Amino acid sequence: MNYKETMNKPNIKPSDMKPIVCEDCGGMYFRQVMAINKVSKFLTGQDKDTMVPVPVFRCDDCGSIPDEFQPIKLKKNDRKDT
Ligand SMILES: [Zn+2]
């Protein structure tokens, strides 16, 4: 599901809303932070790398970022069973 589409729908009833809950700690409150992405100057043709701020929400309790808020899927959790 594309959540941007959902936000643009005009008639949303309270019963249609589902709170997002932190998968790690069950917290319901999130804080907006900025992820800064750097775009290489070789891609943009500028003489400096370009900084692109992307707003993300992270759990106010444990700092975890739910999957649906991840602006970019990072491969930090490449799981290899040991
Ligand atoms: Zn949490």
Query: Where exactly are the structural domains of the chain?
Result: 19-77
For 4, list phi and psi in degrees, rounded to 5. Answer: -65, -40
Measured CA to CA, the distance from residue 54 to residue 51 in angstroms comes to 10
Give the Å distance between the CA of 47 and the centre of ligand 1. Answer: 40
Structure confidence by residue, pLDDT tens digits, 17-68:
888 899 999 999 999 999 899 999 999 999 999 999 989 999 999 999 888 7
Give the Å distance between the CA of 17 and the centre of ligand 1. Answer: 20
Beta pairing partners, 64 = none
Give the Å distance between the CA of 3 and the centre of ligand 1. Answer: 21
Q: Supply the pTM of this predicted model.
A: 0.55
Give the Å distance between the CA of 4 and the centre of ligand 1. Answer: 23
